[in-house]
Amino acid sequence: MKIGIPKEIKNGENRVALPAAGVLELVTQGHEVFVETKAGLGASIRDEEYEAVGAVIVKTAQEAWAQELVLKVKEPLAAEYSYLREDLILFTYLHLAANKPLAEELLKRKTKTLAYESVQLSSGELPLLAPMSEIAGRLATQIGAQFLEKVPEGKGILLGGVPGVKKGKVIIIGGGISGCNAAKIALGLGADVTILDVNIKKLQEIDNQFNGAIKTLVSNHFNIQEAVKDADLVIGAVLIPGRKAPVLVTEEMVASMPEHSVIIDIAIDQGGIFETIDAVTTHEHPTYIKHGVIHYAVANMPGAVPQTATFALANATLRYILELANKGFRQAIEQDSALMAGVNTINGSMTNQAVATDLDLDYTSVQTVL
């Protein structure tokens, strides 16, 4: 199979779909890989490294997109819509529930798409979302600690405090992979950490995992309202697979927070859980202030650590990429239910029911389309 890897063009996105080691696996198994020049540079992977393992370096995005299977990290932007076509298989993060224009474009152009975030095992695990959730969670606390410093605009507190001075208070809404990783870093810094989640069993697991060092609360309107009132850092880490994130923190709640406290919404690529986040921010301009609270709403947080994130992503995606390349689209998805769950669009049909519901689009099962 001929496989293209274009350079990412989203603001601040320096990840690349595969490092040289992943390309070598594909080439070794008889596939041709075409990498757009400088696609890996943001992750410190030079063109020469790709060439050394058998990749063909192409000068333009058009050449990379012209292949049968295109691998990306982030969803196509408007400038890339012209590359979408009926005979293309696109494998990347899509997050269509929060992006109806892209969904409509993919349907119109009859592109076959598989979304990393939709690939799901029978256990419910999302294996291709997990590594980026780990990174985003850890980054959320790290970034929150930075913006709580007086420069550029924070409260001027140290999350862990020091003996004789109270610790910073971190509230994490959502006890999944990103939430637990955010908690791990916050606890490591010495902060006062509370996790809220709707799942009691999950809260019990968190209590056991952290030996009671993290406070747990059932996530409901009252508990969220009370928890954020004196919080220094609030992290939104809610995920409903395929669905737009629910708004859980109202404008009134945000207005009650201490001045110069910080909000970080890991779920912003699925719409976000904070009512006051009405615009996605970028790595270049990551924050804005509303009601005196610093809002951080970058939709591609792992792009801040592209080398780590590129290798972590490839560790998870490569086995599925090899299935697609070795077997072809139809056979690969028919033989792997997790991969079939990742299919979002085929031949002008929306095949992800959660996305179809959120976007008010017609849904057709993958089996029906095939």
Question: Quick one: tokens of 61?
Answer: 């995005």
Residue for token pair 């994490």:
172
Q: From the candidates 192, 265, 269, 336, which is the catalytic residue?
A: 269
Q: Which amino acid, 127? A: P
47 is catalytic: no
Helix axes 177-189, 200-209, angle to 10 degrees: 40
Residue 241: asked if its preceding bond is cis (omega within 30°), the reply is no
Q: Are 56 and 33 in contact (CB under 8 A)?
A: yes
Give CA–CA dist 163/15, Å, rounded: 40
Q: 147 near 156, Cβ under 8 Å?
A: no
Q: Residue 201: how many CB atoms within 10 A of its CB? A: 8
Distance from chain centroid for Cα 352: 18
In sequence order, the 6+-apart residues with CB closer than 8 A to the CB of 44 are 306, 307
Among residues 278, 339, 293, the alpha carbon closest in space to that of 115 is found at 339
- Cα dihedral 286, 235, 92, 27 sign: positive
CA pair distance 204, 222, nearest whole angstrom: 20
Determine whether 269 is an active site residue: yes
The dihedral over CA atoms of 70, 68, 3, 348, expressed in degrees to the nearest 10, equals 20
Name the residues annotated as catalytic. 95, 269
